[in-house]
Chain A
Amino acid sequence: MNRGVVKFRFWGKNWLQSMGVALGGGFLFLAVYVIGSRDFSGGVGRMLLDSFQVYPVYVFLVGTFVMAMYGVTWFQTYYSVFVSLSATRREAVVGIVVAEGAVAAGLAGFMAAFWAVIPGGGKYLSMMPLVTGILFVVASFAMVLGVAIVRWKKLGVLLAVILYGSCGMAFGITLAMTGDDSGAFRKLQVFDGTALWPVLLAGAGVLLYLLSCVFAVAAMRRSEVRV
């Protein structure tokens, strides 16, 4: 069998597994937190339709967690094994980062398609740039953490924790400094689809993802492998 096809099948399985966990987990959360607490007086059909309009939000929440976990795990699980089985370092890293990017794209694609198809879902489509940006940012962070763990072991974990802690702190400080407008957070829920910043965030997310890919390839260029 063609080597490309074999690789595609291997990563395809991993991709499907991640998507399955995100979609299944999202559905579970939807069932527990939304459907279970809805009012049935308008009819079951109406209630289900209303509930499923927010299903992609739960897929997004579970999906970001899944991506963060799988992104790190794939590096830990597969990188050394791939290289020890005669893959080039570039080949090993590219497989992982492309799969991670494909999960981010797959989740974004699913959410967009779901909202496009479900009645009344169109109003949520304006959130897609924001959602896409966040998914790719999470993918980037997961990849950098995965690389740090595999490449620099404990020191890598320490550096990654410091880096991510700093990012979280910077985000928190920014929120606190701009938090004088108490309604700002609530305003986010009435999402302004015409605003430019979600589009910029989407662009920044994709850019960050690409930079992480370059970082991953460069960092693993002369890595030691032990199995």
Chain B
Amino acid sequence: MPTALDAIAALKGKWVGVKDRASLDHPAINVPAADLLAVLGSLKADHGFDMLTDVSGVDWAIGTSPRFSVVYHVFSTTGHEYVRVSVDCADDAKPQVPSAAGLWPGADWHEREAFDMFGITFAGHPDLRRILMWDGYPYHPLRKDFPLAGIETELPDAEVTAETKVGAIAAPMMGGPFVASSGELNMTDAEPRAKDESWTERRPKPDA
């Protein structure tokens, strides 16, 4: 029974851009965006990784480059192994990778979610629009520059906003849970509890 490590060795022999990726559990590789579909297709067709279980966007912090990555987890329903495939988005301002929806129809929703949350576009996606937030929502909430409290926006239904003069109000953070971000501040420094006091209800929010 060929294993995930054999598959990765074969992939590395075929595409020079495929590199090992540090991982604490499953075998993992970094793939250049140009080779992504070929590598995923080969994993699926030649190595039995027939199920795409997860597609996840990652924001590696403001100011790093590459800032965005897309991480795929493929699973073999016969060999019962995972392989993690990560692809970096070359352009930090307009992150884009090719869409895997042609290989797995299940990738459709996962990629819509990554687009919704991170603003990563997937070239060749059949129907790339928001999935969890509403159409017309102006932000990508899982980006690291989006505040936890949220940003006030108009409600999706313009008529309701006009009638009630109420938008989607940012969450009040005073007295909220501990708020700190990994790597930025430790918990002690992050007190008082609001991560950024300029976002509380007492002070006006800066323009979005």
The finding on whether chains A and B are genuine partners in a shared complex, rather than unrelated, reads no
